[in-house]
Each structure stands twice: as structure tokens, then as C-alpha cells.
Amino acid sequence: MTYQRERLELADGDFIDLDWSSPDKEIPINAPKNRAILVFFHGLEGSSKSQYCMNTMRVVTESGWLGVVAHFRGCSGEPNRLPRSYHSGDSEHIEIVLREMRKRFPTERIFAVGVSLGGNALSKWCGEQAESAREVIDAAASVCSPLDLGITAVAILHFKNRIFNRYFMKSMGESFAQRMQQHPQLRDKGFLTTPRDFPQFDDHYTAPMHGYQGAWDYYYHASSRGMIPRIRVPFLLLNPANDPFVPAWLMPNESEVPDNVTLEQPEAGGHVGFVTAPFPGTLDWLPKRLVAFFESCPAAR
């Protein structure tokens, strides 16, 4: 995939980078007539270069739609300007991006997808907005959302997930080291350049920097599972039963969600894997499933 990058300046002095799938040389500011827009929110330490973003943007482009990856602060390859970063409950980020898309494309169909951390933030926003979300988007999908951040923070410490924990701690530590250089007031927490686990990092940085009392206060208030019954737009909640971070018993059942929420819980898929076909496999199942779901949703306008 090749992208066209746009920088969206924010009211607080920070910025968000948007990577558009448009093959045109100009950033698509005006409404693309008779085309749907798919807005993608990536996972923790992800970007438009993540395989799930690139594969989805490719399929979206082939379908004649317009796609855009909305980077969380500091994830586009350039540090954001403020000491704050992003987090799993960052529905403010979702609000800013989706309202901007509706402002630009007042008559087109807009779909939103969130993966992992992005899926939790998107689910939380949809629940917070309830009926008002219909004014902004036509449908949404959450893929491999952690649902309950506290349970996920503990699950990743399991022996079988040690490689994942090591990867995330290394990436988050490097990001904090870079942030510490920009903002000297963070240097008293220099131990977070080599964090031990999520509870340590979240207790000392994520929670206080984003207005929470501590890691477990953050996990409680930022988790999306309790917001799912409030969602009113057509919504796909896709959680594989073998996701190593989300125990199958944590996933909601049909009696816990409204009729507009489609629960899809395949036996396999891992954490945003969904590898199909013989070895070495392909990664096009997820983007095709997302496009098929959105095509099945009735037009809201």
C-alpha cells in the first residue's frame, strides 16, 4: 500500500496523522461521490504499516472505497508534541476523527473499524454516544478488542504470552525514552524505558498522564465491555475464541447485547491473525469479512 499523508491539527496544540488509501495525489478533502469511507483505528504500537491495516486498505481500495488510517498520537513515525500519548479508552481520539470525517463527507457512508486497543476505544465511543453515533457513522466493527483491560493486563503475563509481553514492553519502553527526551519532567520515571509489565507502565504513566487515579482505575473506566449494551449503530464484535489476551469466557453472549450488535466468535484467529489457506497462508480473510459486513448494513442516509 502507498498512502497520502495528511496532518490534522488539534485544538490542544497536538496533531493526528491520517494516512489515506487514495491513489490520487491530492488529499481527498471533498466528498468522493458514491463511495464509502472506511476509517481504521490501529492497535497498541501499531500504524498504517501494520499488516492488518495494509491488507484492509488494499481490499477497501479494490472495492472502490476510500480508506484512511487514523494514527493515535505518536504512532505515525513522528512523536506527538505533548507529554500525553494515547490509551485503550481514548474515545476522545475517536470522536475527533469521526466528527471530522462526517464534516467532510456529509452525505457519504462512513464505516469505522478498530483493532485491539483501537477496537476497545471505538467500542467505548459507540457506547458513550449511543443513538448519537448514528449521526456520525453508518456502522462499526471491533476486532480482537481486549474488552476488559484488567483481565488482559493479567493474561499477557501468562507464560505462553511471554513473547508478546516482551515485544510490547520493548516497544513501549522505546517510545517512553523518546518522549522523555522531549519532556524532561518525565525523567524521574526513567525506569519506564525498560518496563516490566502493563500494570507497572500504566500505573506510573498511562493512568496519571490521562486523568486516572492508577492502573486499575484506568482499566475499570477505560474498558469497553460494559458499554457494548449501549451501542445503537450496526456493530460487528469479532473475537476469536483462541485470542491469547482475551479469555473466551469474557466474551459476551447474545442475551447481553442489543440486536444491532453482531457477535462473531470463530474458533481460530488468534490476536488479529486470521491466517487462512495452506502454508504459508494468507491474511485476506479479515479485510474481506469487514467489507462484507459493512456491505450488508442498511444505508443510514
Instruction: List residues with catalytic annotation.
Output: 116, 243, 271
Other CB atoms within 10 A of residue 251 CB: 18
Cβ atoms of residues 9 and 56 within 8 Å:
no
The DSSP code for 203 is I
Rg (CA), the chain: 18
Q: Comparing C-alpha atoms, which of 274, 277, 272 is closest to residue 142?
A: 272
Give every CB contact of residue 81 below 8 A, 6+ residues apart in sequence.
13, 14, 15
CA distances, 41 to each of 80, 98, 258, 281 (Å): 17, 11, 23, 25
Other CB atoms within 10 A of residue 209 CB: 16
d(CA 296, CA 225): 24
